Amino acid sequence: MDFHETLWQLKIKRETALQMGGNDRIRKQHAKGRLTARERIDKLLDRGSFFEMGLLAHSAMKSMADKTPADGVICGYGTIADRRVAVIANDFTVLASTNAETNLKKTLQFKTQIKEKGGIPLIWLGESGGARMPDCQGAREFCTLSGGGTATLAPAYTHLRTHPFIFAAMGQCYGIPDFQAALADFVVQVKGSTLSVSGPRALARAVGQRDSAEEMGGWKVHSRITGLTDRVVESEEECFQMIRTFLQFMPDNHHRLPPSRPAPDASDNGAARILDHFTANRKRPYDMHPIVSCLTDWGEYLELKPDYGAMLITCLARIDGTVVGVLANNPMVQLGAMDVNGLDKLTGFICLCDSFNIPMIFLHDTPGHLVGKAAEQKKVGVKVVRAQQALFQATVPKISIIIRKSYGKACTNMCGPGAGYDFIAAWPTAEIGFMDPEIAADIVYGGLPEPERAANLERMIGDLSPYPAAGAYHIQDIIHPEDTRSYLIKVLGVVGDWKNKSMGQHHLANWPSKF
């Protein structure tokens, strides 16, 4: 073979690999309303920035070499808004992107390179049918999937949050994609996609279950029940935009601070309207979301898990250009009383913020934890303590604002007195105590005549005022609600000048990503 023919052969092999599973399978993918893996990469990344690794890889089974371009998974580097990122995309047109020896070798080596040398965000665009049969079935074949070493699977099943990891469920995601979602810092799920350990066909054979893919792992399951999904989107284009938005709040790696930007003009305008969204009536619920908007630049923020543990708002935002993580009780849902889902959500968000050097702001309005028989059966006590362990091990700046109610252990979970805050202030409407005074009054004075009971209740409510706590310096200041944003800006300026520049020590980086 002469030199020109050698170059021609290279050209043909590359062009063939770029055709993925062929026109028929590409048409089937489009017929489902889904893009191909390469189209997704082109839509997500800056034009022409993708640099691929492993284009000419194929199945380890020689008979399948011509039928498995890139062995069904695409790996490479590119940029988003001129920022370097790494991308893995399952190519469903090639044997449903099922995982086998070469396929797994590519992802393992690529994730290892990013972890050990890259230090940049990793984005996984998931759509895979699970394990490839019969390639994975024999003893030797199964063991080959481990990578051949003593701990070669570690990159596949660990994420120590040294760099942001984003997973997007774009279609059927069985097996490895589901596991990767469980490791990821941020999970986006496109409606119509599914995430589960096994598909319905395998389950029907193995255990006789006849549940649909949607029933096992659709967006309603993971956004409302399991909490695996952070955001649900309507389309693939919206998914790409959501990924870009999340990245705007993340540093490239844990050795850097999140990217700051100048605060837009008129960002302070909402602060003067904050009381329009609040009620001083201690029995009346209100929505905390507008109050969060009054504090953030242009009123914007990215909420994570909005439908899971909805009595707690967790969101990424900017205040005067600085990235912050906001944890706010929402009295509109269960009066702000955190259940076990809310506690899991709290713990996971603390881990995220601490791992990527994001100061945390706690906005209190909670009557306590949701307890009782059902809660005990779901280990509410364990989850309360686990959230407190995370809070005490977090080393990024922690700022608490007690807006209204903050009782008992829920006060501690929200970084109240004694819980490791760096700065703590209260609105004059704050109530701080062991439990709701009406419950306490029933316990202590329930046998007294109503006028006497009512008088003691009023005294108990008065005892919860923030002024005695401020007088004893259990809280550092009592602020006017309209001054809350300016107070936070001053505090963030102070911690930004500390010797560590708000960088954390990342004690929570090896905690599980999901609970």
Q: pLDDT tens across 468-501, in order? A: 999 999 999 999 999 999 999 999 999 999 988 8
pTM higher than 0.85 for the full model?
yes
Yes or no: domain 3-247 corresponds to CATH 3.90.226.10: yes
Question: Per-domain residue ranges for the chain?
Answer: 3-247, 269-430+465-496
Whether the per-residue pLDDT at 310 is higher than 60: the answer is yes
Q: Give Cα separations from 425 to 295, 350, 429, 488 (angstroms).
A: 15, 20, 12, 10
CB 416 within 8 A of CB 387: no
Residue 312: the pLDDT is 98
Q: Give the chain's count of helices (H) and strands (E).
A: 20, 16
Q: Which residue has the tokens 């003009």?
A: 265
Q: pLDDT tens across 154-198, in order? A: 888 889 999 999 999 999 999 899 999 999 999 999 999 999 987
Angle at the Cα of 391 from the Cα atoms of 161 and 396, rounded to 5 degrees: 60
3-247 against 269-430+465-496: fold identical: yes
CA distance 227 to 223: 5
**Superfamily the domain 269-430+465-496 falls into:** 2-enoyl-CoA Hydratase; Chain A, domain 1 (3.90.226.10)
Q: Bridge partners of 88?
A: 75, 124
Identify residue 151 by its one-letter amino acid code. Answer: A
Q: What is the mean pLDDT of the chain?
A: 91
CA distance 303 to 220: 17
Q: CB-based contacts of 488: which residues, under 8 Å, 6+ apart?
A: 295, 319, 324, 361, 399, 401
Residue 405: the pLDDT is 94
Scored b (16 or more CB within 10 A) or e, 283-295 reads eeebebbebbbbb
Q: pLDDT tens across 44-53, in order? A: 999 999 999 9
* Cα–chain center distance at 293: 20
Residue 149: the pLDDT is 77
* Cα–chain center distance at 463: 39
DSSP-derived 3-state class of residue 32: coil
DSSP letters for 80-131: ETTEEEEEEEE-TTTGGG-B-HHHHHHHHHHHHHIIIII-S-EEEEEEE--B
DSSP letters for 23-92: HHHHHHHHHTT---HHHHHHHHSPTT--EEE-TT---SSGGGGGG-GGGGEEEEEEEETTEEEEEEEE-T
CA distance 371 to 375: 5
Please report, rounded to a whole number, the percentage of residues in the chain having pLDDT higher than 90.
74
